[in-house]
Amino acid sequence: MLKHPGSLALCALSMMAVLAGGAVIEARAADAMQATPQVIATGLDAPWSIAFFGNTPLVSERNSARVLALDGNGKGRQVAKIAGVNGRGEGGLLGIAVHGAYLYAYFTAGAENRIERYRIEGKDADLKLGAGEKIFGGIPSASYHNGGRLAFGPDGMLYATTGDAGEKSRAQDLKSLGGKILRMTPEGRVPRDNPFPGSYVYSYGHRNVQGLAWAGDGTMYASEFGENTWDELNLIRPGGNYGWPEVEGKGGHPGFIDPIQQWPTAEASPSGMAILGGHIYIASLRGQRLRKIPLSAPGTAAELYVRQYGRLRDAVVTPDDKLWILTNNTDGRGQARAGDDRILSVPGL
């Protein structure tokens, strides 16, 4: 598709728009040349997160508390129903991540959000999960702002994003686990080299972070939901204070790290994110689009699939370097289309 002469012309147009400083114009051109994604899976129920064990995709469903394994045809098979999931609103079974022989899950269990891990036994059609082992708890929960993304960094540590759970002051309180990015060992202990000795807090002053990704050089990025004005893309530094609730978006305030990019909340509400081929990809819920941000020019963005597939919850890189996106239209906030919710593979990257 991209080799088509017409697409080349659009690419050239897109480049010119960037040189002219017109990120929005570039977005339209990029959108026009984006090929139709391939459908990987359909019929998911309020899915939240995708992770891979070897080549096997695993998907979490927020309300059913199920973890599904997809076969080569995208057919889901329940491999676990996570015990103890008890969430309202945005709570439930949220992020999952795989490390070694374990699946890690972040979920709402009544008054707290917690992290458990499960030994993965067997593989492919025989894959199943062992009993849960709670490795971390006490993260504040609420109907809104539960955070919930889990990811292992290039340093082998587990990172977890939390929300302010409706109490803004938690974000600036280093003694609270709310409104933070947390960093822990795979066993749930405090790493010796965390920025605040003895504390799980890696960065703070966050409202509700649901996306994490690292570039090849180790630079860490996170997406964050703003309140009414600005959603954020942040470059995360250990010990950094990202401003909430004193500042939303770019405040230029000493002591707070400004986002490297911000968007009106109606055009974003950014959740999962991934990095592939020199670009950051961010799935947007309310904005119903996939944002593509060059690592070489992180203040610019192209917008793909605007309002074509509804709300998007996650973006992940597959083991064979494809980009998959996860729709989010069946959790009561979106308008479900035929086949929702779906996993789509983005071609031509």
The candidate with the shortest Cα–Cα distance to 187, out of 138, 139, 152, 154, is 152
Identify residues 6-45 at the interface with Ca ion (CB under 5 A): none
- 91/243 with CB nearer Ca ion: 243
Task: Tell me how far apart the alpha carbons of residues 26 and 273 are, in angstroms, rounded to a whole number.
Answer: 21
Shortest reach from residue 291's CB to Ca ion, in Å:
17
Shortest reach from residue 298's CB to Ca ion, in Å:
15
Shortest reach from residue 244's CB to Ca ion, in Å:
5
Shortest reach from residue 341's CB to Ca ion, in Å:
29
Cα three-residue angle 310-90-178, rounded to 5 degrees: 125
- 159/242 with CB nearer Ca ion: 242
Shortest reach from residue 255's CB to Ca ion, in Å:
12
Q: In what order do the strands lie in the sheet with 230-236?
A: 209-214, 220-224, 230-236, 261-264
- 76/270 with CB nearer Ca ion: 270
User: Which tokens sit at 282?
Assistant: 């961010």
Size, binding site for Ca ion by CB under 5 A? 2
- 48/242 with CB nearer Ca ion: 242
- 116/231 with CB nearer Ca ion: 231
Shortest reach from residue 243's CB to Ca ion, in Å:
4
User: Which tokens sit at 64?
Assistant: 């059913």
Shortest reach from residue 172's CB to Ca ion, in Å:
11
Identify residues 288-307 at the interface with Ca ion (CB under 5 A): none
- 233/323 with CB nearer Ca ion: 233
Task: Tell me how far apart the alpha carbons of residues 321 and 332 are, in angstroms, rounded to a whole number.
Answer: 32
Task: Tell me how far apart the alpha carbons of residues 36 and 8 are, in angstroms, rounded to a whole number.
Answer: 17
- 190/260 with CB nearer Ca ion: 260
Identify residues 225-284 at the interface with Ca ion (CB under 5 A): 242-243
Q: Which residues bind Ca ion (CB under 5 A)?
A: 242-243
